[in-house]
Amino acid sequence: MRKTIGKRFRWYTDERSRMKATVDKETCIGGGLCRDICPAVFITNDDAKAGVALTPVPPDTTAACREAVASCPVGAITLTAG
């Protein structure tokens, strides 16, 4: 996003628009559904549980991340602003 300051342009990131995905390792059962829905953000770790490969979540994957959160059978994934 560009913000005009006089005749100059300044590129910046609005921190409020950044999303952070987290996985609760104690709750995760390692089903892999999140990885199947949003492979750009979620991975399977060595312990066969889900992990986050990319943070903050890229804006073009936010919809898929929200779907992964909604699809997690045990509610182990959270998506928060900031």
CATH classification of the domain holding 68 = 3.30.70.20
Q: Report yes or no: 42 and 15 within 8 Å, Cβ to Cβ.
A: no
| pLDDT tens sequence across 16-71 | 458 999 999 999 999 999 999 999 999 999 999 999 999 899 999 999 999 999 99
Classify 25 in phi/psi space as left (phi over 0), alpha (psi -120 to 50) or beta.
alpha
Specify the pTM: 0.76
| pLDDT tens sequence across 13-28 | 444 458 999 999 999 9
Please report whether residue 44 resides in a domain.
yes
**Terminal Cα distance for the chain, rounded:** 17
Please report whether residue 67 resides in a domain.
yes
Please report whether residue 51 resides in a domain.
yes
Label residue 79 exposed, middle or buried (CB < 10 Å: 0-12, 13-18, 19+).
Answer: middle
Domain that holds residue 59: 15-81
Q: CA-to-CA distance for 74 and 29, rounded, in angstroms?
A: 8
Please report whether residue 23 resides in a domain.
yes
